[in-house]
Amino acid sequence: MGLQGTFTSGGLGFEVWPGAQVFATWLLEGELGIHVRNKDVLELGAGCGLAGVLTAIFAKSVVMTDGEVALTPTLEQNRSEAKMGAHMASVLQPALVLRWGGETPDLYTPVEADGVLVTGDLDRDRKLHFGSREADELGTYEVIIAADIIYHTGHIATAIVTDIIPRYLKLDGRFFLVIPPERDGSDDFLQAAREAEAQERISMTVERAPRHYIPQQFRDKLDAGVGFRLVTIQRRDK
Ligand SMILES: C[S@@+](CC[C@H](N)C(=O)[O-])C[C@H]1O[C@@H](n2cnc3c(N)ncnc32)[C@H](O)[C@@H]1O
């Protein structure tokens, strides 16, 4: 299977990142495949969509989203070219734009609102068109997946805990996230998650990815204290 990227446009989402490779191994060789089997899945910050497309092998439905509008055609192309049988075609749903945390450096498409935004359309000036699709229309999911979506500090990192999980993850549903080493914002994200855990809104496990999950080119660089983290969050609150 080949995944398209649009490198001429630049942007962080236009390549497959090592976090997505670790996610793929977690899914295909680890226990993650069991957790997504026959589930309705939402992917955040999908980029080119490797994690979402592979998850569709197991899941009941997968909606790939990204906060960068310019990525939607790439996600759509990869969705339609994921030639792994009729099952995949029916599982992968149309890609959508979902932005959390408001204005985000490195994302080209400007937004004028804070919080969560979901849209299928651009206006005439190629800005996000508010109100074309209400955030709540996206529904709720048994599983949310994400690879390497945290690299800004503060609200952009914590909004995933405070906005996205309560809004889109079903009660008892699970959020699976890969955090690569040395990412800005990962401490803010984990701190917000620990606070939510203390309030019994979620439970969380953070594990070091086994060495064989790590892409070869990174293995030599990882010293004892640094690694890719596999985060699992389960929604607990009512
Ligand atoms: C480093 S790339 C990872 C892409 C893909 N998950 C992978 O691992 O190959 C980060 C992705 O998150 C998206 N992203 C970053 N901040 C975001 C935000 N605030 N809201 C929605 N998407 C965001 C970017 O557009 C980009 O596609």
Residue type, 47: G
Counting the structural domains of the chain, the total is 1
Tokens 């490797």 belong to 50
Say how far apart CA 235 and CA 202 lie, in whole Å.
4
Whether residue 28 is contained in a domain is answered as yes
Q: Is 40 in the pocket of ligand 1 (CB under 6 A)?
A: no
Who wins on pLDDT, 220 or 135? 220
Whether residue 140 is contained in a domain is answered as yes
Which domain covers residue 59, as residue numbers?
7-235
Least confident of 151-155, 175-179, 230-234: 151-155
Q: What is the pLDDT of residues 183-204, one digit of tens each?
A: 999 999 999 999 999 999 999 9
Whether residue 47 is contained in a domain is answered as yes
Whether residue 1 is contained in a domain is answered as no
Whether residue 110 is contained in a domain is answered as yes
> Is residue 18 within 8 Å of 226, Cβ to Cβ?
no
Q: What is the pLDDT of residues 102-148, one digit of tens each?
A: 778 888 766 655 556 665 555 556 555 444 455 556 789 999 999 99
> Is residue 140 within 8 Å of 169, Cβ to Cβ?
yes
CB neighbour list of residue 205: distance below 8 Å, 6 or more residues apart = 231, 232
- Read off the CATH number of the domain in which 157 is found: 3.40.50.150
Whether residue 2 is contained in a domain is answered as no
Whether residue 85 is contained in a domain is answered as yes
Residue type, 90: S
Say how far apart CA 230 and CA 208 lie, in whole Å.
6
Give the CA count within 13 Å in the CB-facing half-sphere of 95.
27
Q: Is 206 in the pocket of ligand 1 (CB under 6 A)?
A: no
Whether residue 222 is contained in a domain is answered as yes
Determine which residue's CA is closest to atom 14 belonging to ligand 1: 45
Q: Is 12 in the pocket of ligand 1 (CB under 6 A)?
A: yes
